[in-house]
Amino acid sequence: MSSSSHSATSTFEELGLNPTTPVIVGVGQAAERLDDPDYAALGEADLAARAVTAALADAGVNQVALAASVDTAVAVRSFENSSPASQSPFGRPDNMPRAVAARVGMEPRRAVVEVTGGQSPQHLVNEFGAEIAAGRARAVALFGAEVMSTVRHAQRSTDSKPNFAETIGGQLEDRGYGIGGLISIEEVKHGIVMPTAQYSIIENARRHRLGMSGTEYARSMGEWFAPMTRVAAENPFSASTDVHSADDLSTPSEGNRRVSVPYTRRLIARDQVNQSAAVILMSVASAQAAGIAPDRWVFLHGHADTSAQPLLGRPDISRVPTSVAAVREALRMAGVSLDDVHHLDFYSCFPIAVSHVADELGLKPDDPRGLTVTGGLPYFGGPGNNYSMHAIAEIVQRARRAPGSFGLVGANGGMLSKYSVGLYSTIPTRWRPSTSAGIQAELDREGSVSLARFPNGEATIESFVVMSPDSGRPAATIVGRLADGSRFMSVADSDDTDLLELLSGDADPIGTTVYVRSTPERNFVALSREELDTRHPLPPVGFAQRYEHLEVHCDRQVLEITIRRPESRNALDATTNAELNAVFDAYFADPDLRVAILTGAGDRDFSAGNDLAAGASAAGFSMPANGIAGLTSRREMPKPVIAAVNGDALGSGLEIVLACHIAVADSEAMFGLPEVTMGLVSGAGGLVRLPRAISPMLARDMVLTGRRIDAAEALAHGLLSRVAPHGSVLEVARAVAADILAASPVAISSSLESMERTQTQSDVVDAVLDSMTAFDTVLVSEDHHEGIAALAQNREPQWKGR
């Protein structure tokens, strides 16, 4: 229907609507500041209840009756409950939706807590609009609140501490955090865990694309945000009423400290706020039955939800096409152009959150409509995941004040990772089902950039962030590209003044040649190879005089390595992995050594896997480029490694066994991958090698349940080559080594190389033909001629190894 207004007595039939058409009938906001005369230090549930009460009142009917009609209560997840690392220092209700509902007289049959992300409010309107349209709900209350200001104030105060804990119970659909893919091991290793650092990398990539100097770009960021400060100053719910110029925002000063390159404090979201907002969404039949006048109704004309691939996989770090696609799809669904939209609010945690969408849509910072209706996250306030609920509330009010106008909300989550869009108007319209799945499928066809976890050599800077000295993070983190196009993360040393000055200066450092070197802890860059060699020299290849966690013994051509951490069940920490990696480097480089045997100390454990105490910290990500024990990711193993499994091989212990060429086990040894029982995965080869070593069905059983098998079953299924009587595994392994020593070294290495190269080929005949290339090496070797001669002369061969 095209009419821009309708009477208070119009029925949904007269408006051409279905009885289940969803409509917003009420919106509400609440806030309190520490310096307010009536500041009450409210907890999350109480502040959210204020917003819900305001939303119920906004509908213009009896609040008690309206509250009683709500059948679904949905809470946006607050920051203190947004990740496994979050905490609630003063407690929280065990069922937030029902705690809020009880305060306002609602008794919903369904209670939901949404996933983490700033896209949540708009996504929930999209989702529960569809639920109402399908007849699965009639009246839905959506709400969220942040009380970070109160919590932090109470933590610093010497007064008695609040207690916000409540036991509510009842049904609760907790959707979890939903943050998978938003942070990677590489980002954690290189200090990119806070949004400020992640967004700085995206921002600096955009600066390079636009060809701006540091000064020019800083001012441009201020220009995007300066108009927002004027909007915030007029908003009664704002955290700040200060109006700033572009220079005020972008120039570092005593009151506007440098947070990173390129951000100052006034350019990033203000998260220490006490703010809440709520939306009441109903079917038009329920709204009419409740007596809500149609002039209070606001319809969702267009909507879309998209998600982007992880930051390090994006082809262009400065662009996120998924966000723009969501806006364009919502406009297409509504049948309007961007020029037809009167009110805009784009999520604005950092300038790039606005500019990355505005660039593609042709919007400018001085657009007369403004790019926010609240005042933006740095000035109005950044109430966690719930900010866009405030934007929706403001858009609804503006739509009512100007019947027939359109308002657009763009809500962002993660690192420009999730984007939800809604297009609102008082013009009646039927519900339009989501088309986001098709749009997402098309977006997913975009390629991704491969990641180099252990980069080495010449590279170029693709983007970067320099953090303030008091951030507790690496001084600078660089995203770079190797010659093959793969992307990597690395850090600059804190005393590398030349590199830090380049990154912090006015000239654009992106595209500069650097040199990168991987270490188990993290990757490092420098401006020259000589500088890198000085700061991070390559470790010498050879055996050390002593090892902290190993016992290493050479017996002529056999190397025996014993993991000696009995107090930790021979589990591996960063030191153990580094020592094993160095030992195997030395083994493969030593021409006199022909076989290596790896075992564990004692008769109980070969290895219990990774040391979980070490793995619980950032240091737990420290691993050599060659993987666990220097074996699980090693690409070339030209000489045999025998696993002498003296006891249980669990988790990474089993993954080490799988990486060895031959495995001999004690008759009482057990094998298993218990990672899933601890919320982990067997990511060091277990998921790949176990299904290739044994029946895929049994492998899945072991991986998905943590099931353990004994040595006899492991032998029967091909996981082992031999089982030794209890207590004699090392003797059996030595006998296997002796048999290998009796064979030609050239033939051994050629056979290993050929088996490794052909094992994944699907065509058996092709693999056989490929394996015949091993003859090219063997037939021209001295070992071949010696072997034939020894056979003819009935004597033991004297191998040359060449």
DSSP state letter for 93: B
| Beta-sheet strand order (sheet of 139-147) | 22-31, 274-283, 139-147, 72-75, 110-113, 173-174
- DSSP string of 382-418, one letter each residue: --GGGHHHHHHHHHHHHHHHSTT-EEEEEEEETTTTE
* Active-site pick, 114, 675, 731, 782: 675
Helix locations, 492-650, DSSP H: 497-504, 529-535, 574-589, 612-615
For β-strands 260-261 and 457-467, DSSP reports them as antiparallel
How far is residue 268's CA from residue 265's CA, in Å, rounded to a whole number? 6
675 has catalytic annotation: yes
State both tokens at 721.
């080559």
Contact call for residues 661 and 615 (beta carbons, < 8 A): no
Q: What share of the chain is helix, strand, coil (3-state, %, to 5)?
A: 40, 20, 40
CA quadruple 352, 357, 359, 360: dihedral positive or negative? positive
Neighbour tally for 249: CB within 10 Å:
25
CB neighbour class for 279 (10 Å; exposed up to 12, middle 13-18, buried from 19) = buried
Neighbour tally for 159: CB within 10 Å:
9
CB neighbour class for 156 (10 Å; exposed up to 12, middle 13-18, buried from 19) = exposed
CA quadruple 511, 517, 522, 526: dihedral positive or negative? negative
Q: Which of 645, 653, 714 lies closest to 684 in space, CA to CA?
A: 653
State both tokens at 616.
């619980």
Contact call for residues 653 and 613 (beta carbons, < 8 A): no
CB neighbour class for 37 (10 Å; exposed up to 12, middle 13-18, buried from 19) = exposed
* Identity of the residue numbered 121: P
State both tokens at 490.
């690395």
Contact call for residues 98 and 73 (beta carbons, < 8 A): yes
Hunting for tokens 């297409």 — which residue is that? 332
* Active-site pick, 32, 131, 223, 655: 655
- Secondary structure of residue 610 in the 3-state scheme: strand
Active site residues: 655, 675
